[in-house]
Homo-oligomer: A and B are copies of this chain.
Amino acid sequence: MNQDYIKPDNWSIIEEGFDVERVKSSESLFSIGNGAMGQRANFEETYSGPTFQGSYIAGVYYPDKTRVGWWKNGYPEYFAKVLNAPNWIGIDVKVNGEKLDLYRCKSVTNFRRELNMKEGWYQRTFNAVLLNDVEVSVKSTRFLSLDLDEVGAIQYEVTPVNQEAEIVFTPYLDAGITNEDTNWDDKFWDTYDLSHKGNSAQILSKTMKTEFHACTGMLNQVFVEGEQIDIYPKVETNSVYVKLNYSVEVPKGTKASLVKFGGYTVSLNHKKEDLASASKTVLKQASEAGFDALLDLQKKAWSKIWEMADITIEGDVKAQQGIRFNIFQLNQTYLGKDARLNIGPKGFTGEKYGGSTYWDTEAYCIPFYMATKDQLVARNLLTYRYHHLEKAIENAEKLGFKNGAALYPMVTMNGEECHNEWEITFEEIHRNGAMTFAIYNYVRYTGDYSYVPEKGLEVMIAIARFWHQRATFSTDKNKYVILGVTGPNEYENNINNNWYTNYLAKWCIEYCVENINKVKKEYSNDYSRITKKTNLDQEEINAMLEVAEKMYFPYSEKHQVYLQQDGFLDKELITVADLDTSQRPINQKWSWDRILRSPYIKQADTLQGFYMFEDQFTKEELERHFDFYEPFTVHESSLSPCVHSIQAATLDRMDQAYTFYLRTSRLDLDDYNKEVEEGLHITSMAGTWMSIVEGFGGLRIKNDRLSFTPKIPKEWKGYSFNVNFRNQILKVNVSQQGTSFNLEGDKDLVIYVDGKEFNISPNSLITV
């Protein structure tokens, strides 16, 4: 554990005391978002110390030209970057002519931050003595509205403590911002119009190349002792910023406040020419409601989210804080309203990984959203990929595939591949299988088969075609092999016959054909449309099935396990436990070639397959593979511990399951990887949720029914979670004594608990 300054609390993230060394970490941890936009917890007032400024708009990106040493055919032209957007939160504060800057004060006391997860707001309080000896007490409260998702609100309160003072608030908009992460120091935003009127201002900018237009707006109100005052600002402006100056003289002990409403309207949702008026309209709406009323709405909206998504843990406040932080951040990042958006691995908390969509969504996030939201949300996530099908087919064509085969990108914003390492983009093709798996998982969970004939089957066919073409017939083995891949374990590149990839490929083809047959039988109109559109015929289906049937799987008779890839047993098989701790993490201590040659596994690879296709293996097989592979696993991906936690729980190894759980649940809060400054690990937070619900709770879908095998770590008194299953909400409460189920809805639900059937009636508590 690398930091422990966050105070344990059931519902809030709290920091006390000001430490310049922690500013960037806290900027990540106290990030706020509302699905449509988000921002790091940067100070509103000037801060001249080390800081990482970031404000992000969902779906707005920049195609940064790829930078590589040697170009290879098929490389994507660009890497989509999350863009730091114009700053609307800035409020410069002058006290008797001196700028408030916590980096240059005589003293900062009572510094406290709170991110209130229950209610969805962020607050910072402190006392500062300026160089001119004026002491001020400051409280700043900020939130991004869930109701008006183009608006955020800040209430910035300053009280001179030891003398009367002139307070000048200078709220501003600034489009002259840059990215930390840029390949060529390009300018990303072009500002083409600034306007201001009274207490409000608008800046119109567009992104270079992608031409997203955004209007950044603000509207300000000034209060003295809670009374709004009528004051006309002085204006300062240049080609990229607008600043409004409000000066008030306040007696000692009297509070001066600025309320600033700000945010973005974006061409994704409005016509370009309407952006400024849309900004004005929504800011007016917010300001007329007022800060307090808007905050009340915010609390209600979050309360609704928690009603569905909350997990409680009794007897372990840090665990409770950890899981809620994860659930909170997932909801800040993606709310599922818009099928054009997705879940970036850093959400709105940083720029790393280009902020685009990875297979994390399909493999790790969909279960969380299915169980805690309306099923439309998961459907939107599937639809996102359906919309990108054409691009995925083009992507495959660039690599030499044909006839409508699709390769979904490893990283994307708009459907185009935008990662830039050949060993990932060209080879980490198992991601393609995750797309089909997500459809299967969705249908299995929601029972909503309509998605398949409507959209899903087309995706499945294109993916099955890819696997068909990607496999090679080995005369030597009389089997189909898949050469030159990277598995989920990215510490291996360009390997042959990665078991997980081969297994997934076979499954994708078979599941696709199963659905072709079902749609043919039950949705004949859709079937006609799809076969016509895709030019699919029986000959191709048979050829695909032949590949599935004759797929090769590397296996060790000696160890009775499937091999992660051909030749795995040639490695020097020293377990992680026997590796000197000075050598870890290997991704920091070792050269890349040494990592590649080693047996060490970054994240579940063969075991990822056992996780996804658990039904298809016996518990003994799972145990054998778990015992073979986990000892070589270094868990240097944030996505690693959760799968292993779930499997350890399945194998009744609750201590081990709990240890893995701890590594995932407070990964960012405790900054295990010493990189929280760069942002949070959003997608792995869904893995933490899975560790509890699927791991400890044992949730599965069996025969169209919910199934549980509840277990509880000995460190906890109890825990509870809710699942939305086909529009009924089941509350599950696990304690050391037993498990109770409480159903909302209007009809009975039959579930399995430890393999036995139970009938649960609505609004009645059942304890097992």
Question: Inside 8 A of A483's CB, which chain B residues have their CB?
Answer: 567, 570-571, 596-597
Among residues of B, the one whose C-beta sits closest to the C-beta of A494 is B494
A426 touches B (CB below 8 Å): yes
A577 touches B (CB below 8 Å): no
Fill in one digit per residue for A55-81: 1 if any B CB lies within 8 Å of its CB, else 0.
000000000001111101111000100
A593 & B399 in contact (Cβ 8 Å cutoff): yes
Question: Inside 8 A of A594's CB, which chain B residues have their CB?
Answer: 399-400
Pick the interface stretch among A474-482, A664-672, A724-732: A474-482
Among residues of B, the one whose C-beta sits closest to the C-beta of A572 is B472
Q: How many copies does the complex hold?
A: 2
Question: Inside 8 A of A67's CB, which chain B residues have their CB?
Answer: 67-69
| Known A588-B73, A597-B484; contact A566-B567, beta-carbon cutoff 8 A | yes
A: interface residue count bin? 35 or more
A592 touches B (CB below 8 Å): yes
Q: Kindly identify which residue among B72, B481, B596 contacts A484, using a CB–CB cutoff of 8 Å.
A: B596
A591 touches B (CB below 8 Å): yes
| Known A570-B477, A570-B481; contact A494-B596, beta-carbon cutoff 8 A | yes
A72 & B399 in contact (Cβ 8 Å cutoff): no
A429 to B691, CA, bound (A): 43
B476 & A569 in contact (Cβ 8 Å cutoff): yes
Q: 8 Å CB contacts to B: which residues of A55-113?
A: 66-70, 72-75, 79
A493 to B69, CA, bound (A): 16
Fill in one digit per residue for A383-417: 1 if any B CB lies within 8 Å of its CB, else 0.
00000000000000011100000000000000000
Q: 8 Å CB contacts to B: which residues of A417-452?
A: 419-423, 426-427
Q: Kindly identify which residue among B426, B493, B570 contacts A496, using a CB–CB cutoff of 8 Å.
A: B570
Among residues of B, the one whose C-beta sits closest to the C-beta of A566 is B567
Among residues of B, the one whose C-beta sits closest to the C-beta of A70 is B421
B592 & A426 in contact (Cβ 8 Å cutoff): yes
A474 & B592 in contact (Cβ 8 Å cutoff): no
A588 to B73, CA, bound (A): 7
A473 touches B (CB below 8 Å): yes
A293 touches B (CB below 8 Å): no
Q: 8 Å CB contacts to B: which residues of A503-544?
A: none
In angstroms, how far is the closest chain B Cβ from the Cβ of A263?
34
A72 to B566, CA, bound (A): 25
A-B residue pairs in contact (CB < 8 Å), sample of 12: A67-B68, A73-B591, A400-B594, A422-B592, A426-B596, A472-B570, A472-B571, A472-B597, A473-B572, A494-B596, A566-B566, A567-B567
What is the interface of chain A, defined by CB distance below 8 A to chain B? Answer: 66-70, 72-75, 79, 398-400, 419-423, 426-427, 472-477, 481, 483-484, 493-496, 558, 566-567, 569-573, 587-597
